[in-house]
Amino acid sequence: MAIGILCSGGDSCGMNPAIKSFVDYVYANNETPYFIYEGFEGLIDNKIKKAEHKDVAGILHLGGTIIKTSRSKRFFETKYRKQAFENLQQHNIDKLIVLGGDGSFKGLHVFAQEFPINFIGIPTTIDNDIYGTEYTLGVDTALNVIKDALDDIRDTSSSFKRAFVVETMGRDSGYLTAISAITSGAEICIIPEVAYDLKSIKTRLNKELEHGREYILAMVSEGTKKTEQIAKFLEKSIDIETRVIVLGHIQRGGNPTVFERRMAHSFIINAVDKLLTSSAIQNICVYTKNEFKFMDTTSVVSQPKQLNKELIKQIEFMTK
């Protein structure tokens, strides 16, 4: 039998390092690795191919994913999931590794309830919003991309005595925004998990401007949908020239960090070992308290991840 790997949902810089480790380690265990191109869409369309070492040579430093990814609406329909399973059988694939996020795992959970497939899900999303894991592949590189952008933005902000409102990704999670606000020295941090008080912020910023502050950096999570509101607040209430920058999809790209490459390798080693030594496996591999563990898929997909209380405490002064 064989082991397949696919990427699902948004791309992230942890994917290619994981794909390379997957091919190398599966062959080292005398098993056969298969690529499933274009995620669940490719699984439905039978875009499945045996992987070779040459396919992964020189990909470790690349962002994105060489086997592509997708968001599949068809996978929500039973007839297409049945077609996907039959394609796996055609290639004698009875084990599957899925690099994806919350939506991908929910689809995988339904798939596994209907058909006998062993799988391990590896949390791979820049949002870091998967329940049960402290870290998801891609988040470290995304934070470093944001850090570089913010350093450049602060240069021009200080030169012109301006305010910059920077919107970061993360869906409904404020993790990227909170960490970036702390590590960039932002004056304002607006995330879904914490209430903010513009009246208090106005008092604080005016006092700081009176005592020599010349520019302002405001970090806003896309999930709040408050980017324009904060920009107008700074223009009208603080009376400072303001620019808005939406970082967008550059946060998903870039050269994977050393930490990302190391973690991708470790996730794959743990996932492949589990698949080869256990039966009836339908788990998510998580990283918590400095070790890798396996959680039941139901537990992972049925609960929202809460932002760390200590992290919230560290940014509260930027919200009031």
Catalytic center residues: 127
Element (H, E) at 208: helix 198-210
**What is the distance between the alpha carbons of residues 47 and 38, in angstroms, rounded to a whole number?**
8
Cβ atoms of 260 and 253 within 8 Å: the answer is: no
Ordered DSSP codes for 15-81: HHHHHHHHHHHHHHTT-EEEEETTHHHHHHTT-EEE--HHHHTT-TT--S-TT-----SGGGSHHHH
What is the DSSP secondary-structure string of 217-285? EEEEEGGG--HHHHHHHHHHTS---EEEEE-GGGGG-SPPPHHHHHHHHHHHHHHHHHHHH-SS-EEEE
Parallel, antiparallel, or unpaired for β 2-7 and 282-288? unpaired
**H/E stretch holding 88:** helix 78-90
Question: Which strand (E) or helix (H) includes residue 94?
Answer: strand 93-100
End-to-end CA distance of the chain: 58
- Left (φ > 0), alpha (ψ -120 to 50) or beta: where does 9 sit? left
Q: What are phi and psi of 40, to 5 degrees?
A: -65, -25
